[in-house]
Structure 1
């Protein structure tokens, strides 16, 4: 998941008069995630404005949007499906299971050619199962290495470009009394993200070049061996064991000025700015230089076939993915646009320069293997186990081997 998890947990119906309109009217129902962190910037407001504009030009279509917190939205949609009451659309975190069950329209079924061709190629590919696109990218994020400029200046440091430089900088920060020289959140909240960022920087990843799981590859074992010995073993990751440190707590510590370096996404900028922390951002260091790939995360729009409103859903989604609407959403929530046109605007607009470093990373981004129905089980197991690889006496080869076994079994089950 990318974006701040909303604490609101609210559900709101937006737009449309529902079933009370003319008998020829069509009502489209969308279940959407809330990207806001308060009532003031809830996604409810974004959808309300968009729906109002769409319905003004489409009097025979009513659109009802239910907005749920990220804690609830995936489960809510699953409940609807199991009850035989699928929404027409769902804007959530995964699509593979629904595609495997043949519940979804494809992008070809729905979108006009300009809209479909307008998606970032990396994101469009990430939405595919066996070469067919079911997941329509809705929002994206990449990761950069954040560093505390004040702490770096006090220690007379420059941002690292290699793992060795990162470790040396962390050692210097520790000598200056910095609480978390490098914050390594491998706790249960989002361990799969920090893990993937490090795997990519070491030349590996969750899957190989043909999409087969390779979690216990030589490169991956070497990456976690280095983390265990050169960062955690040297006491450069702070007072909380990485396996117990969650991403939200690491971000909060950075905003308090207690962290020298950590991997972050755009929402961390506002958190740090609000607390007056001066920070810089650079690409993730690699073994021998800047990492050749960074981690990207995407959330997805799905369209379900159950209610049969293909034409109306397609027309509405063409409107959702207009340049104006994509830009409005991206700017409101500090996320990256998923279309080429909106990306070009943001790259050149002065108001969007804070997001440009993240936008520049998007063409290099690799995404979770979300097209695999096995990914949910693998991700859950990574969250449980990966922290133990860097504990004193931990065995990266053994733990990554066990995760590979989990992935192989999950893949076999999915294929069966």
Structure 2
């Protein structure tokens, strides 16, 4: 769900700094020691968040400063880490028995299965618990236990350059795969620009797999069982590969990211792509003259319209210094309405709490539309412990399939086997 990824050299420097900090820092001891609930003593919270944009770090630094001013007996250590290295960073922390007290990311169930997480029921105040939209809480539960809470969410839709559409005679976005192929070909032939942007990089490939799995009538799971190599999913990925082979996508799906393609669209060199609703906040600021519009994600003829939702969630690791009262205060502070509203608007996300969502929807047509749409959204199976391994296994799959090194069926058979292996 990242927005403005830094380049790899910057990520390497951050990782080196992070590793140095770990080696020189104090060890935090056994994660299974009894927790402390004495907030009169000095409490500490280690807090790790991903970098969504250039605004993320300043926002969280100011939040920590204000929190420590209000609660001087609670010390918060903040790390904002680039999405490109976030997984490796927190996994290193966990392997050194130094897990963060709070982590914001997009997977969690494998940690819950291993008994590493505190239950959110033990951390949430009744007032905060009551704020969340109930329909956004299901993905945060595993076997009925609330291990995480959603911080931000997005929905994915098709965004397009209206000037390009008008110039080639297109009056509405494509709704079906047939329309998508025809419109992309028309844009390519008449404008000599790429018709459809596809992100199969290791930052976003699972999203595009989802669009075409669900669009074909398939999905990741059915009735609690993995169905990654279903005929529907194979058909979806085969259609996507055929678009690429016909020259109707951008030329580098496995290299250029969604964020880079958004800029290409803004520059008038790309007709359409699937992105999150943060497009509406970010891209018009970078390209104020851009005329854009959106429509549903195209699906196979006869399938129902698709809405894909994505969430990032807070989780809390068990540590020898876990202070549940301090964590509860910090979570309340993070979700205070005015502060949380600022973050949502700054980063272009959808709110997960009613108090902010209802307020914004009352005056913002797009916000109201998006919050209505997400109620029927499909989500990744982040509450399944095997999802982390499946997600990791997709990272290099794009180029392998596009270049014909594996057929779509072979690639999905491999993912299915990984899912089954990790489920036992």
TM-score interval, smaller chain: 0.7 to 0.9
1:355 Cα deviation after fit: 4.6
Inter-partner Cα distance in structure 1 for 2:5 and 2:371: 22
Inter-partner Cα distance in structure 2 for 1:388 and 1:215: 17
CA contact (8 A) 1:31 1:73 kept: no
| Matching of residue 4 in structure 1 with residue 8 in structure 2 | no
Could you say which residue in structure 2 is the equivalent of 1:285?
298
1:159 Cα deviation after fit: 1.3
Give the match's secondary structure for 1:72.
helix
| Matching of residue 49 in structure 1 with residue 66 in structure 2 | no
TM-aligned CA distance change 1:358 to 1:389, over 3 Å:
farther
1:280 Cα deviation after fit: 0.8
Gaps of 5+ in 1: 14-21
1:326-374 deviations in whole A, cap 9, x for unaligned?
2111011111112122221221234xx4555543432122222222332
CA contact (8 A) 2:2 2:53 kept: no
Give the match's secondary structure for 1:143.
strand
Q: Name which structure has the greater RCO, CA cutoff 8 Å, separation 6+.
A: 2
| Matching of residue 33 in structure 1 with residue 50 in structure 2 | yes
CA contact (8 A) 2:161 2:266 kept: no
Q: Report 1:180-191 matches (<5 A).
A: 180-191=194-205
TM-aligned CA distance change 1:53 to 1:371, over 3 Å:
same
Inter-partner Cα distance in structure 2 for 1:80 and 1:122: 32
1:154-184 deviations in whole A, cap 9, x for unaligned?
1111211222222221121122133211122
TM-aligned CA distance change 1:58 to 1:340, over 3 Å:
same
| Matching of residue 294 in structure 1 with residue 311 in structure 2 | no
TM-aligned CA distance change 1:226 to 1:84, over 3 Å:
closer
Inter-partner Cα distance in structure 1 for 2:406 and 2:47: 46
TM-score when normalising by structure 2: 0.84
TM-aligned CA distance change 1:119 to 1:177, over 3 Å:
same
Q: Report 1:260-271 matches (<5 A).
A: 260-269=271-280, 270-271=282-283
TM-score when normalising by structure 1: 0.85
1:92 Cα deviation after fit: 2.7
CA contact (8 A) 2:350 2:357 kept: yes
| Matching of residue 313 in structure 1 with residue 321 in structure 2 | no
Inter-partner Cα distance in structure 2 for 1:374 and 1:25: 38
User: Where has structure 1 moved over 6 Å in runs of 4 or more?
Assistant: none
Inter-partner Cα distance in structure 2 for 1:406 and 1:29: 33
1:234 Cα deviation after fit: 3.4
1:124-181 deviations in whole A, cap 9, x for unaligned?
1111221212122122222110111001001111211222222221121122133211
RMSD value, Cα: 2.8
TM-aligned CA distance change 1:393 to 1:409, over 3 Å:
closer
| Matching of residue 87 in structure 1 with residue 104 in structure 2 | no
Q: Which moved more, 1:49-58 or 1:159-168?
A: 49-58
